[in-house]
Structure 1
Amino acid sequence: MVGHTPRIKEPQLHRGRLFWLEQRPAEQGRTTLMLRPAPTAGAIELTPGDWNLRSRVHDYGGGVVAVERGAARPGGGERVVVVNDGDRCLWRLETDRPGEAPMRLTEPGERDFADGLIDARRQRWIGVMEAGAVDQLVAVPLEGGGPLLLRRALDFCGYAALSPDGAQLAWVEWQQPHMPWDRSQLWLADVEPEGHLGPPRLVAGSGAAGQPEACSVFQPLWLASGDLVVANDRNGWWNLERLRTTGPGAWQPLLPMEAEFAMPQWVYGMRTTAWDGHQLVAAACVEGRWQLGRVLPGTAGSAGEAEQAPASWQPMDCPFDDLEGLWAEDGQLVAVAASGSTEAGLLSLDLVSGRWRHQVAAGLQATPAQQASGGRVAEALWFEGYGGRPTHAWYYPPQDGGSPAAPLLVKGHSGPTAMARTGLNPAIQFWTSRGWGVVDVNYGGSTGFGRAYRERLDGLWGVVDVVDCAAAARALVAAGRASPERIAIEGGSAGGFTVLAALCFSDTFRVGACRYAVADLSGLASSSHRFEARYLDGLVGPWPQERATYEARSPLRHAEQIRCPVIFFQGLQDRVVPPEQTERIVAALTAQRIPVELHRFTAEGHGFRNGAVQIEVLESTETFFRQHLAL
């Protein structure tokens, strides 16, 4: 399953026709655009066989497809604009002309595009162009031509949303040293008759009138009324709010809940709310699990007055608790969905009848976990973490339920601003089917539990995450579900840093595995790519003023304190964590005669896409762990 199951991304509905991206590990991670023209029809691949759809904006990308909305074209199809990774240009496809070659809209150059929408009235693509050291909102004619500058951000921008009448554009911006989940702003501007933007207005988020400096907004969404909905965490949780754009504008909380209606904006194309033309549907994260529900309107006041009572939350009877990429239209909803027994796939849901269909790829129904590998479902584990605070993890017992002699694998998620999710993960089932327990830790700093939980890691990366991962392992040992002599830890990227820091600064773990791991905080701070150039200011401290702290927490500076075997996996095209970091810590451990392995992958970057590579990582890690834990 790990090596062959495609990954579904960015589903969209247009006039009942379903579009989605399919990333195929069996084709070296190539991503293609798919169309299902009718609910009972088969899937059609729209992009040529050698095309790979991918954006390189901010290096993490996302938001690579935009479909023209509105009435059908004369031929019955749609115009679609995609980002082709081959030349990093925008290309236009015509879905009613499957044999016709795509048309290139922009010329190759030192710039990248992402996160677009199609302005049907003006026949143009509007989205983000990253050129040099700044993001720009630009418009590109659907007949091709040079980009028209609409807005030059101070640093970063995206998530543009055009009002139903095409008269207003909303978008999100954020500036260094803050990340978008720390402080971001919602901007609004009128679209002038000639297509330029009028004077922009700051309407919500960090620094907006009446709102705190430290707050973050996510996914502006227009309603048919012309009102705007956004998730804002000014009350400590990413909750939905509504702006009445006609009459005296005022933000009104829709759903004050201890729940998150947003995700950290690592990539473009994220969507947790959807408007089907009649109702608002959303995904909410409650204590680490996502649930799908309707946002029912509140009680209205007298004519012309704002609503006097907040809306209410009506959860849907849906068997999936891991959700993203919501899109709705005329009583139909699509999303990327998973559960403890079903891997992430494409969910199609009738909002009236409740009937649903789920598939992991074109023509492939999802495989139940019981058929895959024994199907161990996540159990919520709360334990005492850093500072004695309640901390969360997901525990997957081995097939025999766990015992005092069972090996345990501790997983630290990447980010570190991210979360451990509940959907069926074949890489976790790989371990549980082989007699391992797995604990996936939502250490302090994880999302899904409110801003205060997320801010536990501020200034303490390499401390809080290490303590929490070790505490999760000790809690399971104390419960008689794992052996203290058979505890391994693994992670990638920021999770790989947690692995190395845990091996340096704790004595809980006996072996480790790192994928494209951060080994030197000083090196990362001085050479990181643009998106994360100031990320460590919040996680560690201002650079270079806090150089001593960076050096004190960098595993590379303390490699002599690692006394157990470690296996490393590194892509040589990685621009986020340069391969040189991995090479240096491997050399340091080798000099100390610590058992170490390094696997290099010539064509991989930050995050492995090739199915064969993913399989090699799993099998090599298991072999290494078995050897050094004498299993």
Structure 2
Amino acid sequence: MGEPVTGREVRTLPYGSWPSPVDAALAAAHDGKPEFVGFVGDEVWWTEPRPAEGGRRALVRRRADGTQESPLPAPWNARSRVIEYGGRPWAGAVLDGEPLLVFVNFADQRLYRWRPGDDPLPLTPASAVGGGLRWADPQVLSGRGGPAGPGTGEVWCVLEEFTGEGPGDVRRVLAAVPLDGSAAADRGAVRELTDHRHRFVTGPRLSPDGRRAVWLTWDHPRMPWDGTELLLAEVGEDGVLSAPEVVAGGPEESIAQAEWAPDGSLLYASDRSGWWNLYRDGEPLCPREEEFGGPLWKLGQRWFAPLDGGTVAVVHGRGAAALGVLDPETGEVVDAAGPWTEFDATLAVRGERVVAVGAGPYSAHEVVELDTRTGRARVIGAAHEDPVDPAYCPEPLIRAFTGPDGREIHAHVHPPRNPGCVAPQGELPPYVVWAHGGPTSRAPLVLDLEIAYFTSRGIGVAEVNYGGSTGYGREYRNRLRERWGVVDVEDCAAVALALADEGTADRARLAIRGGSAGGWTTAASLTATDVYACGTILYPILDLTGWGSGETHDFESRYLETLVGPLAEVPERYAERSPAEHADRITAPFLLLQGLDDVICPPAQCERFLARMTGRGVPHAYIAFEGEGHGFRRAETMVRALESELSLYAQVFGLDAAGIPTLELGT
């Protein structure tokens, strides 16, 4: 922890030039968060990022006595690539008093079995076809769903199988993998539980008696937050599923998750009311204008979990997501006390214990356990420790702004903050608007050292949850339908200009940055507005026509039909909104950052865009990173990206970024 600054002399220095202990290496070392918590007997397991180890995800084990370890060393990497964004990569059971784990290894995407003292044993074959065989959202079963042992059980999970070299040459089914390793060299030993009539499936959930299974499906062109179907099938004595029937959902109803309660009733989160609310056997449990579910970007995300006593652990809220316990009989929700104001879509329960991942504006993501009998919540893993004096971290403000047509825009504003510095009287700070990815997603209000990297130097940050963001109901989410590149651009500009008009930000020193869909919004903003003096574009979509006609992966290949419109019907809209088609409109300097292994937003889009910028006299830089995909995971990549971004702002805004390598801007 950094030394306290009490008694330190306060210096007067221009905004953006304040010395800060929050360097890029510190921000990179604390990037990422724990995910996919679960119980194995009384032990709690989860995955955790390791930026310094090539960005791998480590499996972490917390024993019943509280001791912790990462039993699988590098290069083992528990991460699935199903639908490219992945999903729950592990599951476990107890055998002879010891844990038995199955997990997906990122490098080869094979499913492995592991027990203490053994090397991981492959359970599935490798494949040389296309993207190969991939697995996600596993459950360890034997016979009718009890704890399994080698040679007696199966792993039920999602199988994604490529049938050719193209991103759309793929089929997805529910599958049963033998735990004895007999399928490691024999694809035929994998038992398929369903046909592939549906393009997308989630992992099956078995009823307490093992006689019924439910799972979610959807098909192109829908995304899971547009419309899904909840399927139910009987499980025969031979482990074969009967013909499934649709029990909920449809083209305009999104079921985000389904689970069986201990009494055999079926719980699911549906947005049929305009909000993701909970239902039990079709009846609403707690009708509220808030969310008890969210966008299913990763298979196995979990917003609720039934407890043995009949109550339900829930992650819920409007905007921010709290952890609570719902009493289905009364509809009352009691939230866990503590400093955590944002909880992720990962939950696990055992008895009356709940494990979740929570964070807040002053603490990073931690593994939290709630004892529902006492109401006591405590940190049990990935405990936050202040890497610097908290006085260098931002104090964010939750704001609502007014956009075009009087629409409300949600945002988090992080003013500059440094206990050792003030700006000269009368100077206004530069501000960077952050556009989140997705775009069907949301910027959570949590401590982020990448934001502190800028605010502690005197550069403000405004995270905009523009129209289309989640957490505010389906109507807010649907604002972006066929309006991507319009509503998001307008909302970000409205927040930036409002901050300038109220005297919070310097109108001449506004910037915008974002990654993925946020990279699109950044590039589109630079082509469609004159609000920003510069921008940082990370792994973006730049050419809608190319992206919508085969340049991206299967999961999002028809996403643009709702965001923009069907390509065959409105091709001119695709061309009109694409930054790659209007490079001549860009006059502001920019930085473009791209992973060369990105199959979601491929580098070819950046290369076409840059070719059209050649000779135009606009200062810019392009940095491509070997070994990085969609979203940067390696510490050295994140350091270079952050320092380059700061150098861009320093050059454009006239700041003194001492000690930061100068980004070479070409034209």
- 1:12 maps to 2:38: yes
What residue in structure 2 maps to residue 139 of structure 1?
Answer: 176
What residue in structure 2 maps to residue 91 of structure 1?
Answer: 112
Describe the superposition over 1:56-86 as per-residue Cα deviations: whole angstroms up to 9, x where unpaired.
1111112100112xxx422x11221101122
Tell me, which stretches of 5 or more residues in structure 2 are unaligned?
Answer: 1-25, 145-152, 163-169, 184-188, 656-667
State the one-letter code of the partner of 2:88: G
Q: TM-score, normalised by structure 2?
A: 0.87
Kept after mapping to 2: 8 A contact 1:128/1:138:
yes
Q: 1:73 aligned to 95, 118, 128, which one?
A: 95
- 1:597 maps to 2:621: yes
Kept after mapping to 1: 8 A contact 2:34/2:367:
yes
- 1:264 maps to 2:316: no
Q: 1:31 aligned to 57, 67, 72, which one?
A: 57
What residue in structure 1 maps to residue 417 of structure 2?
Answer: 399
Taking the aligned partners of 1:451 and 1:260, their CA distance within structure 2 comes to: 10
Taking the aligned partners of 1:100 and 1:445, their CA distance within structure 2 comes to: 48
Taking the aligned partners of 2:276 and 2:630, their CA distance within structure 1 comes to: 28
Kept after mapping to 1: 8 A contact 2:314/2:326:
no
Taking the aligned partners of 1:586 and 1:430, their CA distance within structure 2 comes to: 28
State the one-letter code of the partner of 1:147: V
- 1:582 maps to 2:606: yes
Q: Secondary structure of the residue that 2:95 maps to in structure 1?
A: coil
User: Which structure ranks higher in relative contact order (CA pairs < 8 Å, sequence separation ≥ 6)?
Assistant: 2
RMSD of the TM alignment (CA)? 1.7
State the one-letter code of the partner of 1:425: D
Q: 1:462 aligned to 485, 506, 510, which one?
A: 485
Describe the superposition over 1:146-171 as per-residue Cα deviations: whole angstroms up to 9, x where unpaired.
21111124210004211111111110
In the TM superposition, residue 404 of structure 1 has moved relative to its aligned partner by: 6.0
- 1:530 maps to 2:554: yes
Kept after mapping to 1: 8 A contact 2:393/2:449:
no
Q: Secondary structure of the residue that 1:151 maps to in structure 2?
A: coil
- 1:562 maps to 2:586: yes
What residue in structure 1 maps to residue 341 of structure 2?
Answer: 321
What residue in structure 2 maps to residue 248 of structure 1?
Answer: none
Kept after mapping to 1: 8 A contact 2:292/2:314:
yes
What residue in structure 1 maps to residue 15 of structure 2?
Answer: none
Q: 2:567 aligned to 516, 521, 543, which one?
A: 543
Taking the aligned partners of 1:454 and 1:386, their CA distance within structure 2 comes to: 16
Matches for 1:373-412 after TM superposition, within 5 Å: 374-399=392-417, 405-412=428-435
What residue in structure 1 maps to residue 234 of structure 2?
Answer: 190
Matches for 1:74-473 after TM superposition, within 5 Å: 74=96, 76-94=97-115, 98-109=116-127, 110-121=132-143, 123-132=153-162, 133-144=170-181, 145=183, 146-153=189-196, 154-206=198-250, 213-243=251-281, 251-298=282-329, 311-324=331-344, 325-358=346-379, 361=382, 365-368=383-386, 371-372=389-390, 374-399=392-417, 405-473=428-496
Q: Secondary structure of the residue that 2:98 maps to in structure 1?
A: coil
Taking the aligned partners of 1:424 and 1:281, their CA distance within structure 2 comes to: 28
Q: Secondary structure of the residue that 1:496 maps to in structure 2?
A: helix
Q: Secondary structure of the residue that 1:512 maps to in structure 2?
A: strand
Tell me, which stretches of 5 or more residues in structure 1 are unaligned?
Answer: 207-212, 244-250, 300-310
| Distance change >3 Å, CA 381–CA 226, structure 1 → 2 | same
Percent identical pairs in the alignment equals: 38
Kept after mapping to 1: 8 A contact 2:82/2:135:
yes
State the one-letter code of the partner of 1:42: T
- 1:44 maps to 2:69: yes
Describe the superposition over 1:370-411 as per-residue Cα deviations: whole angstroms up to 9, x where unpaired.
725622232111111243211111111111799761110100
In the TM superposition, residue 359 of structure 1 has moved relative to its aligned partner by: 6.0
Q: Secondary structure of the residue that 1:203 maps to in structure 2?
A: strand
Q: TM-score, normalised by structure 1?
A: 0.92
Q: 1:616 aligned to 632, 640, 647, which one?
A: 640
Taking the aligned partners of 1:525 and 1:381, their CA distance within structure 2 comes to: 34
Q: Aligned residue pairs: how many?
A: 596
Taking the aligned partners of 1:149 and 1:341, their CA distance within structure 2 comes to: 47
State the one-letter code of the partner of 1:314: V
Kept after mapping to 2: 8 A contact 1:404/1:482:
no
Taking the aligned partners of 1:298 and 1:348, their CA distance within structure 2 comes to: 24
Taking the aligned partners of 1:472 and 1:112, their CA distance within structure 2 comes to: 42
| Distance change >3 Å, CA 589–CA 358, structure 1 → 2 | farther
Q: Secondary structure of the residue that 2:500 maps to in structure 1?
A: helix
State the one-letter code of the partner of 1:391: I
| Distance change >3 Å, CA 323–CA 456, structure 1 → 2 | same
State the one-letter code of the partner of 1:273: F
